[in-house]
Amino acid sequence: MATYIVQTKETEKYQKNYGLPLINIIPAVVWSIPMHQKLFPDANFWMTLLLCGIFVIGYVVLSMLPIIAAVPCVASVIMLTAMFWALVDGIGNNFIRILLKVVILAIAVFLELGIFSNAIVPWLQKKEMNRTKIIRVEK
C-alpha cells in the first residue's frame, strides 16, 4: 500500500525595503525638467512645480511596483550614468577616463538591479508561496 507525504515550502517572507527606491528621486527630478519643458512650456511657476512633483512621486512609486519597475530602473541607469560621466569627462588620461566610466556604469546598473529585485522579489515569492510537493512512497 502506498502512502503519500505532502511537503510544503517553508520560506521566510521577504521584507521589502521602502527606502531603497528613494535613490530614484535624483534621476526623477532630472528627468522631470525636460519632460515638463517639452509638454508644458508655457506653464507658470506653481504649475511647473506641481507637475514636476507629480512626475517625481509617480516615478518613485513606479520603482516600487513589481514588473513596471523595469522602466524607471532603466531610465535611472541612463540618467545616473550621464550625470556622473559628465564629472569624469574632465580627466585627460583616456585609459583612466574610460575605466572610471565603466566603473560608474557598473555601479549604476547594480544599484538599479537591486531596486528592481527589491520590487519584484515579494511578487515572485507570493506566487511560489502555496506550492506543495506530494511524494508517493511505496511500502
For residue 66, count other CB atoms closer than 10 A to its CB: 14
Instruction: Note the pLDDT of residue 46.
Output: 92
For 18-70, the pLDDT digits (tens) are 888 899 999 999 999 888 889 888 889 899 999 999 999 999 999 999 889 99
Retrieve residue 72's grid coordinates: 524607471
For 81-108, the pLDDT digits (tens) are 999 999 999 888 899 999 999 999 999 9
Local structure of 9: helix, strand or coil: coil
Contact 75, 27 (CB under 8 A): yes
**What pTM, to 2 d.p., does this model score?**
0.77
Instruction: Note the pLDDT of residue 81.
Output: 95
